[in-house]
Structure 1
């Protein structure tokens, strides 16, 4: 990283630490120009968020829809940072007791995505129970993200104590494209950021979220896992500010599909003060993923309604099983028995009926320890499912 690459009025300070130039961002908020285009983009994104928020008002069981959306976000967030191409099926199969993945790296990447699911649900529940969006919560979620996964040996839940470079793996620190804030400034910079988050939005909420996400990634407080935690912070802030009643939005899909632009826009803020371009990129991501999330939710609900109508009058167990397979499109009979709290014969009969009708498909070909998948559900929540 070279000081001459940064404009004179860059939104932060370039300083040398241990012979390496680093960049520490100025406290939020910056001065922004509300261009007509940005106002229009923000309006579209807020409309998409509003549609997602309305889902909760007429869902009898929000968790039926939330579970597939959370799993989808977990996969896309992990795919930004891993070499393995994960699918939703990988996580669902792991949860059903299988061991997908051919190599140790692939299995660790699946664990990472599972951890993301746990971190999302833990974070939302903590805020629901009255916890503050503070350092303790972020460190707790960071520990969850790294347990048994990539970065497990890099002090989960603790701020980094060394400089890090943002570039291709193996790039020497002296040649890194970007070196974020030095360790000594991390506690103060993060405290300022979290105070800003807790104070509520100063600009339009989604504009503030763009600022917050940039700030967190530029501080880069942990040795590893900052990207995952920074994307999770977006959803936690949406919930904390009561813009969404749950984690219905999964922005990682857009960032993953536009990964180079995502990284370039973040770097351009630090180097050139290109706030407007970054905020525009971010709110477009929210708008697109909000619309996609709403479409997925509506398609899942329509499928559930068709199944409910098809099996109307055939008992409460099959109705409960339909909800369960939408949350868990890979399943075993013991899983369903445990989740529904019904007798094994009753659940087995319901599974057999759905299997005979093609709603479920048995995947093992065995007489015992069978596993099932719901292909119509997977087709909705994982359009790239092989």
Structure 2
């Protein structure tokens, strides 16, 4: 059963801060129930909502919107930004894409912020996919994910050995918004969490909801809990086959509706036996909040897929017009370098001849010729990335990514009706 455990805090601060920050005393920390032992009962209304959400996700996953999965890393970069405590406007999609290019090629003029976000995106994507593909998840997998996000802070790696808390004072837990379990409980709770993640006792969406809430409640690390907790959502959905490409921006929707998110987590953290009315209702409250977020995420991802399809039609028309102007009426071959680039462009909106040759297995000369063809057709434009070096990019696609991210930060998913409520890229010109 979940309980609020009385604990004693002994201050270790002797001087340098106000006396009220140096106080010692009693506080309560929450120890959640084990996931593998707890029963789950959902009302007919919540069960219907859950079925609707799963249908929406499966319908989206069946769509043949090439590149939508790759675009998810741009949508999810807001998490990397927020978790890195970057203030102000987010780096633009163009800057992030160039920073991603800089992971495999020399690119000059990159900002530290863009590089940090791109590196975090890559770390989360790679580590999450490793966890999704593994036969049995262990606590070590989550530890590896955390350490990959905190490469510059090795002292913070691993399961915490001290009491932590959320909100309030930096010196004591007495005014905290929430106090996780003491460090002596963390190992057992984490073992239970990964055991639950390895099973299939509940539907994929319910499993993702409970795993995320339990992880955030345990708060097992000194830092990086938010990023790992959000990665768990996408890992569970991918692992269970509901969202094969992790294209759902569920965590961004939860961040947009922060008040509802906190309300749901607070309800989840009720004390009492696992079959008591207040605990059952608390879990259902959280699951309802999460399922609503999944529905919103599926709707937004479907809209993005429509936008991408519209862009593809524009690209095809531009190429067709260009070829007609040159007196060529035959359609492009399906294996031509131009066609290969266009098919993959949503996932790789910034390219060089080297990148194209590596991804598509064409010669550097064929890659360069194809990129120039797309530039002349006004599908791509160029940007300098160093002395005598150019990258080719799709401005329309990069603008779409920024617009979509801004929409996801609006409580009405329309920045004309409700402004973004967290750092996002500047509005495209």
Give yes or no for contact 1:22–1:181 (8 Å, CA) kept in 2.
yes
Give 1:93-242 correspondences, 5 Å limit. Answer: 93-96=98-101, 97-101=107-111, 106=113, 110-128=115-133, 130-148=134-152, 152-156=153-157, 158-167=158-167, 170=170, 172-202=172-202, 204-242=203-241
Task: Indicate the residue corresponding to 2:284 in structure 1.
Answer: 276
C-alpha separation in 2, matches of 1:323 and 1:98: 28
Q: Secondary structure at the match of 1:178?
A: coil
1:153-173 superposed Cα distances (whole Å, 9 cap, x missing partner): 4432x1011111101674643
The offset of 1:374, in angstroms, is: 0.5
Scaled by the length of structure 1, what TM-score is found?
Answer: 0.82
C-alpha separation in 2, matches of 1:90 and 1:265: 35
Task: Indicate the residue corresponding to 1:350 in structure 2.
Answer: 370
Structure number with higher helix proportion: 1
Task: Indicate the residue corresponding to 1:7 in structure 2.
Answer: none
**Does 1:27 pair with 2:46?**
no
Q: Secondary structure at the match of 1:175?
A: coil
C-alpha separation in 1, matches of 2:46 and 2:168: 32
Task: Indicate the residue corresponding to 1:90 in structure 2.
Answer: 95
Alignment partner of 1:73 out of 53, 66, 76: 76
Please list every run of 5 or more consecutive structure 2 residues that lacks an aligned counterpart in the other structure. 11-26, 102-106, 272-278, 321-330, 407-426
C-alpha separation in 1, matches of 2:138 and 2:72: 25
Task: Indicate the residue corresponding to 2:5 in structure 1.
Answer: 14
C-alpha separation in 2, matches of 1:11 and 1:365: 55
Give yes or no for contact 2:76–2:252 (8 Å, CA) kept in 1.
yes
Q: Higher relative CO (CA 8 A, sep ≥ 6), structure 1 or 2?
A: 1
- Taking structure 1 as reference, are residues 248 and 279 closer, same or farther at Cα in structure 2, changes over 3 Å only? same
Give yes or no for contact 2:208–2:232 (8 Å, CA) kept in 1.
no
- Taking structure 1 as reference, are residues 339 and 236 closer, same or farther at Cα in structure 2, changes over 3 Å only? same
Q: Secondary structure at the match of 2:245?
A: coil
The offset of 1:341, in angstroms, is: 3.4
Which deviates more from structure 2 when the two are superposed, residues 276-285 or residues 374-383? 374-383
Q: Secondary structure at the match of 1:21?
A: strand
The offset of 1:32, in angstroms, is: 4.7
Please list every run of 5 or more consecutive structure 1 residues that lacks an aligned counterpart in the other structure. 1-9
> Aligned-residue CA RMSD in angstroms?
2.9
C-alpha separation in 2, matches of 1:80 and 1:277: 26
- Taking structure 1 as reference, are residues 211 and 44 closer, same or farther at Cα in structure 2, changes over 3 Å only? same
Q: Secondary structure at the match of 2:244?
A: coil
Give 1:301-312 correspondences, 5 Å limit. Answer: 301-304=309-312, 307-308=315-316, 310=319, 312=331
The offset of 1:282, in angstroms, is: 0.6
Give yes or no for contact 2:337–2:362 (8 Å, CA) kept in 1.
yes
1:315-344 superposed Cα distances (whole Å, 9 cap, x missing partner): 711112223432121233433333333333
**Does 1:373 pair with 2:393?**
yes
Q: Secondary structure at the match of 1:48?
A: helix
Give yes or no for contact 1:14–1:24 (8 Å, CA) kept in 2.
yes
Give yes or no for contact 1:75–1:88 (8 Å, CA) kept in 2.
no
C-alpha separation in 1, matches of 2:195 and 2:385: 56
The offset of 1:117, in angstroms, is: 3.1
1:333-373 superposed Cα distances (whole Å, 9 cap, x missing partner): 43333333333332222212211222112234998212332
Q: Secondary structure at the match of 1:326?
A: coil
Alignment partner of 1:326 out of 342, 346, 353: 346
C-alpha separation in 2, matches of 1:251 and 1:155: 27
Task: Indicate the residue corresponding to 1:42 in structure 2.
Answer: 50
C-alpha separation in 2, matches of 1:180 and 1:365: 46
- Taking structure 1 as reference, are residues 345 and 289 closer, same or farther at Cα in structure 2, changes over 3 Å only? same
Alignment partner of 1:313 out of 332, 357, 366: 332
Q: Secondary structure at the match of 1:173?
A: coil
C-alpha separation in 1, matches of 2:266 and 2:381: 47
The offset of 1:125, in angstroms, is: 4.1
What is the number of residues matched between the two proteins? 361
C-alpha separation in 2, matches of 1:170 and 1:308: 56
C-alpha separation in 2, matches of 1:175 and 1:260: 19
Alignment partner of 2:297 out of 273, 289, 298: 289
